[in-house]
Amino acid sequence: MNTGIVVFPGTWSDRDCAHAVGEVLGQPGRYVDHREENLDDLDLVILPGGFSYGDYLRCGAIARFAPVMEAVTDFANRGGLVLGICNGFQILQEARLLPGALLRNASCEFRCEWVNLRVEQSESAFTLDCRPGQVLRIPISHGEGNFFADLQTLDAIERNGQVVFRYCAPDGRVTAESNPNGSLSNIAGIANARGNVFGMMPHPERACEDLLGGSDGLAVFRSAIHALARVAV
Partner 1 sequence: MAIATRRAQLEEVALNEDEYRAIVRAIGRDPNDLELGMFGALWSEHCSYKTSKALLRQLPTEGPDVLQGPGENAGAVDIGDGLAVVFKIESHNHPSAIEPYQGAATGVGGILRDVFAMGARPIAILDALRFGPLDSGHNRHLFHGVVAGIGGYGNCFGCPTVGGEVHFDSGYADNPIVNAMCVGLVAHDRLRRASADRAGDVVLLVGADTGRDGIHGATFASVEMDERSAERRPAVQVGNPFLEKLLCEACLRLNELAGVTAIQDLGAAGLTSAASELAYRGRRGLDIEVDRISRREQGMTPYEVMLSESQERMLVVVRPDAETAARQVFDHFELHADRIGTVTGTGRIRIRDHGVSVADIPLKALVDGVPLRSPVASFPDKQPTVVMPAVEEPEAILLDLIASPNLRSRRPIYRTYDHQVQDNTVFGPGFDAALLRVPGTNKGLALTTDGNPWYVTLDPYEGTKAAVAEAARNIVCTGARPIAVTNCLNFGNPERPAIFGQLQESIRGLADACRALELPVVSGEHPADAGDRHGRPARRPLPPMPVRIPGRRRPGLFAG
User: Which residues bind to partner 1, rule: CB under 8 A?
Assistant: 9-10, 12-13, 15-16, 19-20, 49-51, 53-56, 109-113, 139, 141, 143, 203, 205-206, 208-213
Q: Smaller CB distance to partner 1: residue 10 or 182?
A: 10
For the bound state, the minimum distance from the C-beta of residue 212 to partner 1, rounded and expressed in Å, comes to 6
203 is catalytic: yes
142 is catalytic: no
Beta strand segments in 123-196, E? 135-142, 146-148, 163-168, 187-191
86 is catalytic: yes
Spot the catalytic one: 120, 142, 203, 208: 203
Strand partners, 30: 4
Spot the catalytic one: 94, 120, 144, 205: 205
Q: Smaller CB distance to partner 1: residue 26 or 233?
A: 26
Q: Smaller CB distance to partner 1: residue 49 or 99?
A: 49
Residues 6+ apart with CB under 8 A from 86: 13, 48, 49, 50, 140, 141, 142, 145, 200, 201, 202, 203
77: how many CB neighbours lie within 10 A of its CB? 12
* Catalytically annotated residues: 86, 203, 205
